[in-house]
Amino acid sequence: MSFQAQKTFFIETFGCQMNFHDSEKVAGSLVSQGYRQVEAAEDADLILYNTCSIRDKAEQKVFHRLADFKRLQKEGKKFAVIGCVAQQEGERIFERAPHVSLVAGSSSYRSLPQLLVQIEQGERATGLNDRETSQTFETEFTARTNPHRGYITIIEGCDKFCAYCVVPYTRGRERSRTSQSVLEEARRIADSGLTEIQLLGQNVNSYCDPLSRASFAELLAEVGQVPGIRRVRFTTSHPRHFTRDIVEAIDTVPSLCDHVHLPVQSGSSQVLQAMQREYTREQYLERIAWIRAARHRSIAITTDIIVGFPGETESDFEQTMALLDEVQFDGIFSFKYSPRPNTPALAMENAIPEEEKTARLAALNEKQREIQRPNYARHVGEILEAMVEGYHPARGQVAGRSSQNKPVNFTVPEGSPPPVPGSYVPVRVTRAFPNSLVGELATDGGVEPGKRLAEAPGPCSRI
């Protein structure tokens, strides 16, 4: 690595939003150590891969990437594998990819400055032993890459040990940050001009302030009242710990978005039990009823579903299909069960053949597509508040997002400039697809998120 000029790094991220936000914090930490971020691996002294091992496919990606860029080692570049694959595979990564210098799991990111010194001295470094820590990874500087939304980790790790999932093994035990530090970060985000915040954790509902014992619902309501913040989202909720006061908070604090992501995984109580999810189909539906009972809001509900978990019978799968009909989700993320190292499900009998998993996934997605058609179509005629995310000149369309987290693509009157990214505008919805809404800038007034024009209190900010 050449250290005459300023040291540079390139980071590529795989996987979930937690990983993307970890990369923002890792980048901040590297910048505070004198590194400069670059956009291409070829231009960097240090190349980092922040990895995901939730499914086998995600895990394999990083090894392909390491093979593709091995040639750059000749130029003196250093390689680092961080995140879940690093934690899971540990020093085996050095055997499989000897050009790697640093392997570190997410619980060790606080030690990055020391680990960097080691690799700068030409040594190999590992950060793999901190999973029992009670500390969280907070940095003075976070290199935020999303121009509109500031992410805040409120709880790290996971103690749930679902039978199929690697996360408790790769991210360590659950540890919450203090509400004070979360609120300080929220205020810094607002001061930097961002107006949307997303609170992150593998199981945000387990949040508990280590000092004041404040709950997730209390924290959520407080973040929603930070001056300058117009939208607050959160992910992911676990049904076992999802409480009514979260719905009450959404119902009363206007900046909290009309959206809950509540992964169900299966519609069969037998499968849920085998998955060690700690709730039944009936208890899940009870939570859905709480969300639907919100008095002032129409709250969108999305979920995650795994098909082909070991032992999932045709009848279990039919119950998942029936659950889709019953709940009418606004969106789903669906996955074929992927056997993962260290997890109890690996030893379970009655594995479902790959073709059967593929067929179930296709049937599930087809059903959900049919459910989303009317779900999205019911917005036609409404005026929704959209946060502007970008502009597609070729299509002449502005890309935005509703409070319910639905993509809203819209046109502006001829001759008018597109509204600036990050602004909030009212959009009249004129057409709907199963995954997006289409409309035009409404010039006759704005609305509270999720409300129809007739209830609109006043104009939204726009240019």
Contact residues for ligand SAM (CB under 6 A)? 16, 54-55, 164-165, 167, 202-203, 236, 238, 263, 265, 304, 306, 335, 337-338, 340
**Two structure tokens written together for 265:** 């995984």
Q: Are the C-beta atoms of 169 and 87 separated by less than 8 Å?
A: yes
**Two structure tokens written together for 446:** 């704005």
Give the residue with the Cβ less far from ligand SF4, 49 or 279: 279
| C-alpha atoms less than 13 angstroms from C-alpha of 312 in its C-beta half-sphere | 29
- Give the shortest CB-414-to-ligand SAM separation in angstroms: 43
Report the partner that residue 16 touches, choosing among ligand SF4, ligand SAM, none (CB closer than 5 to 8 A by kind): ligand SAM
- Give the shortest CB-238-to-ligand SF4 separation in angstroms: 5
Report the partner that residue 168 touches, choosing among ligand SAM, ligand SF4, none (CB closer than 5 to 8 A by kind): ligand SF4
Alpha-carbon span 208 to 197, nearest angstrom: 19
Which amino acid, 357? K
Helix axes 314-327, 354-377, angle to 10 degrees: 10
Which amino acid, 202? Q
Give the residue with the Cβ less far from ligand SAM, 220 or 408: 220
Give the residue with the Cβ less far from ligand SAM, 250 or 345: 345
**Two structure tokens written together for 280:** 């039944």
- Give the shortest CB-128-to-ligand SAM separation in angstroms: 20
Beta bridge mates, 304: 333
Report the partner that residue 319 touches, choosing among ligand SAM, ligand SF4, none (CB closer than 5 to 8 A by kind): none
SS3 89: helix
Judged by the rule CB under 6 A, the positions of this chain that interact with ligand SF4 are 158, 160-162, 165, 167-168, 202-203, 238
Report the partner that residue 271 touches, choosing among ligand SAM, ligand SF4, none (CB closer than 5 to 8 A by kind): none
Alpha carbon of residue 133 to chain centroid: 23
Report the partner that residue 54 touches, choosing among ligand SF4, ligand SAM, none (CB closer than 5 to 8 A by kind): ligand SAM
Report the partner that residue 224 touches, choosing among ligand SF4, ligand SAM, none (CB closer than 5 to 8 A by kind): none
Give the residue with the Cβ less far from ligand SAM, 35 or 164: 164
Beta bridge mates, 402: 386
Give the residue with the Cβ less far from ligand SF4, 203 or 405: 203
| 109 C-beta neighbours (distance < 10 Å), count | 23
Alpha-carbon span 163 to 277, nearest angstrom: 8
- Give the shortest CB-268-to-ligand SF4 separation in angstroms: 17
255-285 burial: b if 16+ Cβ within 10 Å, else e: bbbbbbbbbbbbbbbbbbebbebebebeebb
Residue with tokens 């190999």: 124
Report the partner that residue 440 touches, choosing among ligand SF4, ligand SAM, none (CB closer than 5 to 8 A by kind): none
Give the residue with the Cβ less far from ligand SAM, 55 or 144: 55
Give the residue with the Cβ less far from ligand SAM, 19 or 101: 19
SS3 327: helix
- Give the shortest CB-163-to-ligand SF4 separation in angstroms: 9
**Two structure tokens written together for 259:** 């959206």
Q: Which ranges in 3-51 belong to alpha helices (H)?
A: 17-32
Give the residue with the Cβ less far from ligand SAM, 13 or 202: 202
- Give the shortest CB-176-to-ligand SF4 separation in angstroms: 15
- Give the shortest CB-342-to-ligand SAM separation in angstroms: 11
- Give the shortest CB-92-to-ligand SF4 separation in angstroms: 22
- Give the shortest CB-145-to-ligand SAM separation in angstroms: 20
Give the residue with the Cβ less far from ligand SF4, 27 or 274: 274
Report the partner that residue 169 touches, choosing among ligand SF4, ligand SAM, none (CB closer than 5 to 8 A by kind): none
How are beta strands 424-432 and 383-392 bridged, if at all? antiparallel
DSSP 175: E
Report the partner that residue 335 touches, choosing among ligand SAM, ligand SF4, none (CB closer than 5 to 8 A by kind): ligand SAM
Alpha-carbon span 277 to 162, nearest angstrom: 6
At residue 20's C-alpha, the angle toward residues 14 and 22, to 5°, is 115
Please classify residue 457 by burial: count the beta carbons closer than 10 Å to its beta carbon, then call 0-12 exposed, 13-18 middle and 19+ buried: exposed
